[in-house]
Homo-oligomer: A and B are copies of this chain.
Amino acid sequence: MESVDGLPLDTILEGDCLEILPQLPSNAVDMVFADPPYNLQLQHALYRPNFTRVDAVDDHWDRFESLTAYDTFTRAWLSECRRVLKDTGTLWVIGTYHNIYRVGALLQELGFWILNDLVWIKTNPTPNFHGTRFTNAHETLIWAQKTKGAKYTFNYQAMKALNEDLQMRSDWYLPTCIGNERIRINGEKAHSTQKPEALLYRVVLASTQPGDIILDPFFGSGTTGAVAKKLHRHYLGIERDPRYVQIARARIQAITPAPLPAVEWVETRRRPRIPFGALLEAGLLQPGQPLYFRGGSPEAIILANGHLRCGELTGSIHTVARALLNNAPCNGWDLWYYRDETGNLYPLNNLRLRLSSAYFRPKNTD
């Protein structure tokens, strides 16, 4: 196991984060991503209108006896995380209205300085079955730096490239973790609140550099570690449930990182002009994967921010294609081909069509 200044790297420490965090050195990690218990407190069994019962979160780790108990717990892990963070470090926390106001208020009191809050808008949220409230369709992320005014990492150009060459906004549209990505054991979900990798992809790419150290004190099924490994960041997870630890270890073990240049070349050139990055976030393409111009050569490599690298050329699928065509106006979606698992070549546009319509913004925009 790699280790830097007493900080173990790329591993999972099994145990309660309130016991393990105090053993970690100060000023050691670049970023913390925390997905703490939400303290949901659903009062009764919930049924859908078709009489099926909702498999709600009722895990023991999500139960607190009072608001005060939750605050005590929150203050403890937040202040330890602050100590462990480098002065230039930032903290991400995700939550819902059940807990995010507790967390947000406490982190301000501890000296964190909020840089943004972000809303993860779920394209496929659970409806409100009983018509009693608004459908809870989002979760909130707070992004804060350890100390007001310190330098911090924000990869503005990478975020812009990932977002159709427009500034990345505070509203993020992503589906919940379903389908093949959702880890299941004997058909049962392995973790009740597994986060989608697309969410962590954006978090990690926005606020860390390759080689940075990311701490996740509520590691769960290990999404943070999986994305960190893909993007050549170091991770350190803390998780107290040995079953989750085992699941996360196996998951991360199976990850093949993107080729290093695909990650390191990010930020070196200009931005693309098309939402190509969404295919990466969705996992339809991987950083480092080759693309073939007109289905043949030359070959290009996909970078982690949605740019291509082809020989000495770097840029969007359109920019590079245009250069290859002596500046003729062209559409990269039709000119670049990817190889699918069967070995056949198809134009990128196939993937764009496949990309769930869920990725695009809702239509009702009164």
Contacts and interface: CB of A to CB of B under 8 A. Distances in A.
Interface string A127-147: 110011111111010110000
A171 interface: yes
Contacts of A100: 101, 104
B167 A127 contact: yes
A116 to B, nearest CB: 5
A132 B156 contact: yes
Contacts of A168: 134-135
A328 B135 contact: no
B154 A366 contact: no
Given A104-B105, A148-B59, A329-B47, A365 B123 contact: yes
Interface in A41-82: 47, 51, 53, 59-60, 63-64, 67
Q: What's the number of copies of this chain in the assembled complex?
A: 2
Interface string A317-339: 00000000100111000000000
A261 interface: no
Interface of A: 47, 51, 53, 59-60, 63-64, 67, 96-98, 100-106, 108-109, 111, 114-119, 121, 123, 125, 127-128, 131-138, 140, 142-143, 148, 154, 156-157, 159-160, 163-164, 167-171, 173-174, 198, 206, 325, 328-330, 361-362, 364-366
Nearest to A49: B331
Contacts of A154: 132-133
B364 A164 contact: yes
B101 A97 contact: no
10 contacts: A47-B329, A51-B330, A64-B109, A105-B105, A116-B134, A132-B156, A134-B168, A171-B362, A173-B361, A173-B365
A364 B163 contact: yes
Contacts of A206: 134
Contacts of A133: 115-116, 154
B51 A328 contact: yes
A136 B116 contact: yes
Nearest to A152: B132
Contacts of A143: 134
Contact of A134 (B53, B101, B118, B131): B118
A291 B253 CA distance: 59
Contacts of A121: 119, 121, 171
Given A116-B134, A167-B135, A198 B127 contact: no
B105 A131 contact: no
Contacts of A102: 105, 108
Contacts of A364: 163-164, 173
A67 to B, nearest CB: 6
A96 B60 CA distance: 28
A232 B57 CA distance: 41
B97 A142 contact: yes
Contacts of A156: 131-132
A176 to B, nearest CB: 13
B53 A171 contact: no
Contacts of A117: 96-97, 140
Contacts of A96: 117
Contact of A51 (B98, B325, B362): B325
A115 B98 CA distance: 10
B105 A135 contact: no
Nearest to A142: B97
A62 to B, nearest CB: 10
